[in-house]
Amino acid sequence: MDQSTLPELGFDWNQVLELIQTKGVDFAINLAIAIAIFYAGKMVISLVVRGLRKVMRRQEVDKTLETFVCNLVRIVLLVVVIIAAIGQLGIETTSFIAIFGAAGLAVGLALQGSLSNFAAGVLIVLFRPYRVGDFVEAAGISGVVEQVQILTTVLKTGDNKQIIVPNGQIMDSIITNYSANDTRRVDMVIGVSYDDDLDKVRATLEELVAAEERILDEPACTIAVSALADSSVNFVVRPWVKTSDYWGVMFDLTEAIKKRFDKEGISFPFPQQDVHLHTVKE
């Protein structure tokens, strides 16, 4: 069949070309508008998030809450922009939302762990067991909190390693926040020989504690005999310090005690045992 027979069948090529041109132009215009909506939306989202961040910083909102809220707002607005761009292409958004919801449900079932991490992130933001900058121990990891994200918490260890811990694991574990209070107690156990003068040991420890300026006057430092151990008499030394001074006082006071005890002739006994030999006559 050649083209000359097509008009006899009622097939008008002019109408087909006109239809293609009209629809093609309309689709191209809608596609251009959709692309413009997407990129303009991204720019607006950036401005909104930036403005929200400035407002929260001006109100001195906790940095943990600031990061979490800004990330959440960015994701929600981006989804809205994508749906608006798709609607401009003539796709029924209600059907798309239904499909998106069904797909989200399927993905949610497949990513139950991620959803639990998200829920844990919300709980962390609401109850604030720790904040950015706190030194914490959680899920078996110790470090300074750098970021609290939607799904994870970023910690920096003492040897400058970055560790990313899922929020779900953190909320399922015991959280120890060493920075929560302004002061901490330094717990030290000092063992001396049974032959040493305990009054002299106590007086020496009191002098060393009094000489350390970073130790607080209140609460008072506890210095007492805690145990008569197998090889030593153990003193507990428990001064209170600012949280930021904890490790400095711990290290410096330990060194000062060793040097002063050597000077005073106070000994640090090594573990020892008495061995009794019995002679058996044959």
Mean pLDDT of all residues in 189-208: 95
**Domain made up of 129-177: CATH architecture:** Roll (2.30)
Domain range list for the chain = 12-110, 129-177, 183-264
Q: Are 204 and 261 in contact (CB under 8 A)?
A: yes
CA distance 176 to 134: 10
Query: Is 1.10.287.1260 the CATH number for 12-110?
Result: yes
**13 half-sphere exposure, CB direction, 13 A CA radius:** 7
Which is higher by pLDDT, 20 or 148? 148
Compute and round to an integer the Cα radius of gyration of the chain.
36
pLDDT value of residue 276: 74
For residue 103, what pLDDT band results from cuts at 50, 70 and 90?
low
pLDDT value of residue 275: 77
pLDDT tens-digit profile of 104-151?
A: 666 555 556 677 888 888 888 888 899 989 999 999 999 999 988 878
pLDDT value of residue 5: 46
Same fold, 12-110 and 183-264: no
Min mean pLDDT across 22-36, 139-153, 208-222, 257-271 is at 22-36
Mean pLDDT of all residues in 149-158: 90
pLDDT value of residue 98: 65
Mean pLDDT of all residues in 269-282: 74
What's the pTM?
0.61
**206 half-sphere exposure, CB direction, 13 A CA radius:** 9
**Domain made up of 183-264: CATH architecture:** 2-Layer Sandwich (3.30)
pLDDT value of residue 9: 47
CA distance 182 to 177: 11
Q: Is the pLDDT of residue 68 over 80?
A: no
pLDDT tens-digit profile of 224-260?
A: 999 999 889 999 999 999 999 999 999 999 999 999 9
Q: Is the pLDDT of residue 181 over 50?
A: yes
